Amino acid sequence: MALQFGLTYSTKKARPSYIYSIIGVALVLFLLGLLGIIVINAKKLSDFFKENVEVSVILMNNVTPESAMDLKHRLDASAWVKSSEYVSKEIALQRFKQQSGEDFMELLEYNPLYASVNYHLNSEAVNMESLRLIEQQILKDKRVKEVYYQKPVVEMMNQNARKVSLVLLAVIVFLFLVALALIDNTIRLVMYSNRFLIKSMQMVGATRWFIARPFIIRSVINGLVSGFVAVVLLSFIGVYANSIIPELASLADTGSLFLLLFFVLIVGIIISGLSTYRSVRKYLKLKLDELY
């Protein structure tokens, strides 16, 4: 009877610790998820800028509109094409007038501009090596005079993307390890308050699994609750950010975000369960006088 009273008292005494554990783990998972959202949006933002790089295929003067459209349709079938537009000599002249406010037709009395097919590429193709291969392929067609794109911009964009990717990778690895350590320490502090209960159950002959099972189940449930709280906070932050900056909605990768939220839930469950099991094993191996 005394043992039963002691178990009940210890369990009640440990309840506030579980609440603190849920809050602590939820905050760690929230920060981890927030970093994941930043990484996903950084990738989407990088892809957005890359896909806005324009590659102009300048055509020979003797190329008819029909022949130009034939070339356009042929290149449109390539895997690297995201979108394309045929710009005739007349349209090129109109755009020049709008942008510069000048009309050189009054001096030259003819249109010196070339017709072109302008392409926006998929983000994977916007790097110097791919662009060189694409340029070589296009220049094989005798209707093409020149392939133009802003090489310095592409080089700078890819160099910056590589640097940012390396920095983000290092930050992700570091913060993930910190998150694991914080969650593990939080769970171990909770289990520390139950160390006498664990030892008491062992002393009356309970098996290791019989002792560990209720703690692991409770810890998994707490991890699930922590993960759910983190997911709700992340969703709220996402909705709030989209309401302030509507342009973020166009960059959102729904599939990746759902995977991230699922990952946050799984991390909360697995780390909580494993940390609890390790703590129970530790206290089962200790002698009674080592618990003080």
Intervals of the chain under pLDDT 70? 1-18, 101-110, 245-253, 286, 288-292
User: Exposed, middle or buried: residue 201 (CB in 10 Å: 0-12, 13-18, 19+)?
Assistant: buried
- Chain-centre distance for alpha carbon 156: 22
Pairing of strands 54-59, 144-148: antiparallel
Half-sphere exposure of 199 (CA within 13 A, CB side): 15
pLDDT at residue number 5: 36
Domains detected in the chain: 15-48+157-291 (no CATH), 54-149 (3.30.70.3040)
pLDDT at residue number 67: 92
CA–CA–CA angle 262, 265, 271 (5° rounding): 130
Question: In the β-sheet with 81-87, what is the strand arrangement from edge to edge?
Answer: 81-87, 116-121, 54-59, 144-148
Q: What is the pTM of this model?
A: 0.62
Q: With beta carbons less than 8 A apart as the criterion, state whether 138 and 147 touch.
A: yes
pLDDT at residue number 117: 92
Token output for 135: 């340029």
